[in-house]
């Protein structure tokens, strides 16, 4: 049973390293002996898939990424020809696509080759791009992907969504409901992110965070995320906690980009500590925090997404400040009182959330919060969820 896994991301992207590869390795456990997995990545720099270190039975297929447009269409045409040949040559039995943009290619290949199609991380992408301002609803890109999202929904033998609500969305928007429907939020490595990573003394001293109230954020600004609003929140927090407050920002944004946000929000530059670290270092850095923030834009389709970082925050026992109606996470945070939900993007709502966080961190020790929050990750972000789903799909055909 040979599998072709399709993604829309670069090999070095966290979405491959933490959101794809761990699951692909789980899938490999349920395949017959001597099975092969071929994994497509779209890399921003030219690279040869054969130059990557193959893990177990995973072989990489790499193409240079081109944005949507004429060059992008040429790229997809070349990929289509190459993958069609690989499917035939390697006797691929199943096409397993991550997210609907890659699923569009998976759908076409499935039709051409009569192979089984599985859509993983199944959530709205076309409407999400409109809601975050990247596309217009009248654009060719939106109309093309939305139409193919309908096709994928009907064609796929299995759909693996991020939330239960996605089933209703598919019924409403795509006019189709699949019986073989699974729910798998972004899982977290509970051994990598654990109590051992809390408040690393050497890092606290190095970053001058000793006896500070530290808000951590690992991620980007813009696109599906808020930008200047996050720094406005930091500014309100700085006014509330004063000199004790610090932001540990783990981001690939340039120093110049960050400084422009700092100036716009009138934030003290010393309040923010900016670093970019590899994912393997992330647990110790996130563990320096007293709370975290998940600034996903609160647009309708984000009810069906799965914020990857939330599982890592919870695994480290961090309260989370989150915008409303994000996945099922906003409801979990509100229900179990393990953070704060920002209802509106204004200073009054930011201050209310800060009061709630202050009550949590002043009324509990760091270890008490860990013991309260860690079970949320264990119950809702455990890789056992993925194990059970892939066992059902691949062991039973």
pLDDT at 46: 57
Among residues 32, 33, 41, 34, which one has the least CA distance to residue 4?
41
The yes-or-no verdict on residue 98 having pLDDT over 80 is yes
Split at pLDDT 50, 70, 90, the class of 72 is confident
Q: In whole angstroms, what is the distance from residue 25 CA to residue 30 CA?
A: 9
Q: How far is CA 278 from CA 17, 281, 315, in A?
A: 11, 5, 18
Q: In whole angstroms, what is the distance from residue 356 CA to residue 240 CA?
A: 12
Which range is most confident: 9-23, 133-147, 231-245?
231-245
Q: In whole angstroms, what is the distance from residue 59 CA to residue 158 CA?
A: 23
The yes-or-no verdict on residue 14 having pLDDT over 90 is no
77 Cβ contact list (under 8 Å, min separation 6): none
At how many degrees (to 10) do helices 255-264 and 228-241 cross?
Answer: 60
- Mean pLDDT for 39-66 is 74
The yes-or-no verdict on residue 396 having pLDDT over 70 is no
Among residues 336, 293, 340, which one has the least CA distance to residue 312?
293
| 259 within 8 A of 175, measured Cβ to Cβ | no
The yes-or-no verdict on residue 397 having pLDDT over 90 is no
Q: In whole angstroms, what is the distance from residue 9 CA to residue 15 CA?
A: 7
Q: What is the pLDDT of residues 191-202, one digit of tens each?
A: 999 999 999 999
The yes-or-no verdict on residue 16 having pLDDT over 50 is yes
Q: In whole angstroms, what is the distance from residue 336 CA to residue 334 CA?
A: 6
CATH class of 2-187+382-395: alpha beta
Among residues 68, 72, 155, which one has the least CA distance to residue 109?
155
Q: What is the pTM of this model?
A: 0.92
pLDDT at 323: 98
Q: What is the pLDDT of residues 336-358, one digit of tens each?
A: 999 999 999 999 999 999 999 99
User: Tokens 């609907």, residue?
Assistant: 100
Split at pLDDT 50, 70, 90, the class of 260 is very high
Q: What is the pLDDT of residues 108-145, one digit of tens each?
A: 999 999 999 999 999 999 999 999 888 999 999 899 99
pLDDT at 73: 82
CATH class of 195-380: alpha beta
108-138 exposure pattern, b = at least 16 Cβ within 10 A, e = fewer: bbbeeeebbbbbbbbbbbbbbbbbbeebeee
The yes-or-no verdict on residue 288 having pLDDT over 90 is yes
At how many degrees (to 10) do helices 347-363 and 228-241 cross?
Answer: 50
Among residues 168, 164, 132, which one has the least CA distance to residue 327?
164
pLDDT at 179: 84
The yes-or-no verdict on residue 50 having pLDDT over 50 is no
Among residues 110, 95, 123, 154, which one has the least CA distance to residue 19?
123
pLDDT at 48: 44
User: Tokens 């009054």, residue?
Assistant: 348
Split at pLDDT 50, 70, 90, the class of 65 is confident
For residue 191, report the phi and psi dihedrals to the nearest 5 degrees. Answer: -85, -35
Decide: helix, strand or coil at residue 93.
strand
| 61 within 8 A of 36, measured Cβ to Cβ | no
Among residues 327, 322, 294, which one has the least CA distance to residue 165?
327
User: Tokens 């407050």, residue?
Assistant: 245
H/E run at residue 48: none
| 11 within 8 A of 47, measured Cβ to Cβ | yes
| 197 within 8 A of 316, measured Cβ to Cβ | yes
The yes-or-no verdict on residue 215 having pLDDT over 70 is yes
Q: How far is CA 217 from the centre of its chain?
A: 14
Q: Where are the domains of the chain?
A: 2-187+382-395, 195-380
End-to-end CA distance of the chain: 10
Q: What is the pLDDT of residues 311-328, one digit of tens each?
A: 999 999 999 999 999 999
The yes-or-no verdict on residue 53 having pLDDT over 80 is no
34 Cβ contact list (under 8 Å, min separation 6): none
Q: In whole angstroms, what is the distance from residue 93 CA to residue 79 CA?
A: 18
The yes-or-no verdict on residue 214 having pLDDT over 70 is yes
């Amino acid at each position: 049973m040979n599998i072709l896994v399709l993604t829309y991301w670069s090999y070095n992207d966290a979405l491959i390293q933490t959101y794809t590869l761990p699951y692909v390795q789980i899938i490999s456990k349920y395949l017959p002996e001597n099975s092969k997995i071929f994994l497509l990545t779209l890399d921003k720099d030219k690279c040869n898939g054969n130059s990557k270190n193959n893990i177990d039975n995973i072989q990489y297929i790499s193409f240079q990424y081109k944005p949507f447009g004429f060059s992008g269409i040429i790229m997809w045409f070349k990929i289509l020809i190459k993958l069609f040949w690989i499917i035939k040559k390697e006797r691929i039995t199943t096409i397993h696509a991550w997210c609907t943009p890659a699923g569009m290619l998976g759908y076409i290949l499935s039709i051409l080759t009569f192979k089984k199609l599985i859509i993983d991380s199944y959530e709205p992408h076309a409407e999400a791009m409109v809601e975050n301002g990247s596309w217009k609803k009248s654009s060719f890109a939106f109309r093309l992907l939305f139409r193919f999202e309908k096709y994928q929904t009907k064609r796929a033998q299995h759909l693996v969504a991020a939330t239960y609500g996605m089933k209703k969305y598919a019924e409403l928007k795509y006019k189709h409901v699949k019986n073989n429907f699974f729910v798998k939020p972004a899982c977290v490595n509970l051994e990598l992110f654990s109590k051992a990573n809390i408040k690393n003394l050497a890092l606290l001293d190095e970053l001058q965070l000793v006896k500070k109230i530290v808000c951590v954020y690992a991620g980007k600004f813009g696109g599906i995320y808020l930008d200047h609003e996050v720094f406005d929140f930091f500014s309100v927090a700085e006014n509330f906690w004063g000199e004790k407050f610090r932001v540990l920002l783990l981001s690939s944004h340039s120093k110049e980009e960050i400084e422009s946000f700092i100036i716009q929000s009138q934030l003290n530059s010393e309040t923010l500590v900016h670093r970019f670290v590899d994912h393997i270092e992330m647990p110790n850095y996130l563990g320096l925090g007293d709370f975290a923030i998940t600034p996903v834009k609160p647009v309708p389709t984000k009810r069906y997404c799965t914020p990857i970082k939330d599982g890592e925050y919870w695994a480290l026992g961090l309260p989370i400040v989150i915008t409303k109606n994000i996945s099922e996470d906003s409801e979990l945070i509100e229900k179990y009182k393990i953070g704060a939900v920002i209802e509106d993007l204004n200073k009054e709502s930011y201050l209310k959330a800060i009061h709630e966080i202050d009550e949590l961190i002043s009324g509990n020790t760091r270890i008490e919060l860990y013991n309260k929050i860690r079970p949320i990750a264990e119950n809702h972000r455990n890789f056992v969820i993925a194990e059970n789903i892939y066992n059902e799909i691949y062991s039973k055909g």
